Structure 1
Amino acid sequence: MNRRATQGEPFPLPIDNRPLKLAPGMQGLLRCPVCHARLELSPTVAVCQRATCATRYPIIEGVPVLIHEANSIFTLADFTERRTTFFNLAPSWRSQLLDRISPSINRNVKSKANYRRLTELLLSDSPAPRVLVLGGSVLGVGMEALLERPAIALIESDISFGPRTALICDGHDIPLEDGSVDAVIAQAVLEHVVDPYRVVEEMHRVLRPGGLVYAETPFMQQMHGGRYDFVRFSYWGHRRLFRRFAEVDSGVVCGPGMALAWSYTYFLLSFVRARWARHAVRLFASLTSFFWKYFDGFLVDRPGALKAASGYFFLGRRSDTILSDHELVRGYKPELTEA
């Protein structure tokens, strides 16, 4: 824990007078992640306005770094010193070359349609919706539908710097005012947080009444993201995670074909250790399995896909009622999962 920063003492900052990446209308929503008080923003530092807290947070290249260090696996120094957090900001040329020449084994079958639906729901609820994106350093698959509507304002946050990062924060303590956004998006995020239940509670807190949540979370995917890979959810486990939300829609987003390609790839990788060999195996595996994902266009809506999916989505609305475990279990229908 960086005691100097959390006690309000000065910490070294680069001279940087560039404007904040967050739109002016979004800056007023920011709150101290420690005590939820308002922040005073300058080009290089954000200061909590509660005298008993007075925590100082760095602003780096226009990006506020609002981390509650006592509750997070990250520190302010991780960002002021530009350490690698989740994404490797300087990948090797070999890794970059491999990414360019290897066909992808991934396919988010439902993402584009789901984001179009989310966009329409948002604009039917509000003429100027505000959307928090967790894991928003890069544009998620299908999110173009949101960008095409200028009325929708995005707060793109992440735990890593990236081309779209406008706010550094930890989802366990979202630094926004209660009830301040119309939607929260977490695409391929919740498997990478220590306590997904806490993160979903925070999503519920910052949403307005009836606000929307959209999440995509893996089920059958091997470990990825290095040390930051913690959990997986079945379809029913994913529904329980969002038990404080009324379901609008849910189902398979990445199908059995993609799950099979991942398993095959990691099966082959288990035979080798040397870095060059792993690169070669990844290339071979992708060349010999990438086409399996195309079966998912046919399989994704079939009942058996719920048991064999690579990942699920959930679209819901903030609710004041909680789905009980009894209701969850009673809602199980064998015919939904029988092949």
Structure 2
Amino acid sequence: MQEYIIHPDTHSRLVSIANDFLLFEDESRLPIHNGTPILFGVDSLFNSEDIINSKKTTQDREHLDTSNIKNFIRRKLLPALCEDFTIEKRYDVLSQLLPAESKVLIIGTGEKTAYYKNKFPHCKVITSDVHNEFQPDYIFDGHFIPFAEHCFDLVLAAQVIEHTINPWQFCKEMQRVTKVGGLLQIEAPQTFPYHAEPYDFFRFTFTGMRSLFTQCEVLKSEITEGNAAMVAVTISNYLINTSSIGIIRSSWLLITRLLLGWIKYLDRLQPVLNRRTVSMPKGYAFTFKKDELQRKSVELLNEFYELKR
């Protein structure tokens, strides 16, 4: 993908790569740290110094460490309050739509590098994030994607857009780097507690998400976790936050996970996305296809009325 790399600010093309920096046509440089290019623009919330100094920002890999008894109980023993029941099928279908050697960009890979590469084994998968906790291929801010126009067959951002301070710019950038006829996979919450503080900015309704992708048609939209999951998460979060004392908060976490973990299965009774089920789901998934048609706002809004009642 080196031939497609551009400077995130000037869009100057990459000229060469040295051991510790990338050199662009305008003679600007951006650093490489431990083998990973850091491609932040000047207006980004993030900076290369934090990466080099291993400052924790949006994620901390220690939360996955199950040698920690608290993490082990939370991640291995307690039932989850919500679950995306269709994610495996959704990504399998998405993979089947892509020809061999397709270029796939994952924005906000987190700890799922191996997962994404296994899901798209016949594709060239490029992973990225705003930190180096899990060693992505590139570190950059999705508001300023450092790749040329029309170079990816699929751009995927799962549970990322709510963490962008300017989702309009983020979505514009995603569409810019996607080929005409290419796909964009977006997953985001409508209802979920504040998290990854302070990098948590927005929630998205069905019509709100649709309005952000004006150059695309919707191939598929679905609820990832529904109204029942939202109820369980909200009750649990309320009870946990009735106290600032660690032992009480942990006790409520334990109790609510055990008592409410079954509620998410009620969402399977209402699998169809319609004007009733979109009232308060936990989240959505949209698969878009870029066609570069310019849609008016009223056209995007009218798609809501096409949902089954």
Give yes or no for contact 1:258–1:310 (8 Å, CA) kept in 2: yes
Task: Look up the match of 2:24.
Answer: 48
Task: Look up the match of 2:13.
Answer: 38
Q: Which amino acid aligns with 1:230?
A: F
Deviates most, 303-312 or 173-182: 303-312
Following superposition, the deviation at residue 59 of structure 1 comes to 1.4
Q: 1:284 to 1:117 in 2, by over 3 A?
A: same
**Deviant stretches of 4+, over 6 Å:** none
What is the correspondence of 1:20-99 to structure 2 with a 5 Å cutoff? Answer: 26-39=1-14, 40-51=16-27, 54=28, 56-68=29-41, 70-91=42-63, 93=68, 95-97=70-72, 98-99=74-75
Q: How far apart, CA to CA, are the structure 1 residues paired with 2:147 and 2:307?
A: 42
SS of the aligned residue for 1:155 comes to strand
What is the correspondence of 1:85-164 to structure 2 with a 5 Å cutoff? Answer: 85-91=57-63, 93=68, 95-97=70-72, 98-123=74-99, 127-139=100-112, 144=115, 147-163=118-134
Q: 1:110 to 1:322 in 2, by over 3 A?
A: farther
Q: 1:150 to 1:110 in 2, by over 3 A?
A: closer
Question: Please, what is the CA RMSD of the aligned residues?
Answer: 2.1
Measured against aligned partners, the alpha-carbon deviations of 1:16-52 in whole angstroms (never above 9, x if no partner) come to: xxxxxxxxxx23322211211223212322222313x
Q: Among the aligned pairs, what percent are the same residue?
A: 25
Task: Look up the match of 1:178.
Answer: 149
Measured against aligned partners, the alpha-carbon deviations of 1:200-239 in whole angstroms (never above 9, x if no partner) come to: 1001111111110001110011111111110011111111
Q: How far apart, CA to CA, are the structure 2 residues paired with 1:292 and 1:43?
A: 52
Task: Look up the match of 2:232.
Answer: 261
Measured against aligned partners, the alpha-carbon deviations of 1:97-131 in whole angstroms (never above 9, x if no partner) come to: 333332222211222222112111112xxx31000
Q: 2:159 aligns with which of 180, 188, 191?
A: 188
Following superposition, the deviation at residue 146 of structure 1 comes to 5.7
Measured against aligned partners, the alpha-carbon deviations of 1:60-118 in whole angstroms (never above 9, x if no partner) come to: 222111101x2211111110111001112344835423333322222112222221121
Following superposition, the deviation at residue 278 of structure 1 comes to 2.0
Q: 1:30 to 1:174 in 2, by over 3 A?
A: same
The two structures have a TM-score, normalised by structure 2, of: 0.91
Q: How far apart, CA to CA, are the structure 1 residues paired with 2:135 and 2:278?
A: 33
Give yes or no for contact 1:158–1:167 (8 Å, CA) kept in 2: yes
Q: Which amino acid aligns with 1:243?
A: T
What is the correspondence of 1:300-339 to structure 2 with a 5 Å cutoff? Answer: 300-301=271-272, 303=274, 304-333=276-305, 336=308, 338=309
Structure 2 residue runs without a partner (length 5+): none
Task: Look up the match of 1:209.
Answer: 180
Give yes or no for contact 1:254–1:300 (8 Å, CA) kept in 2: no
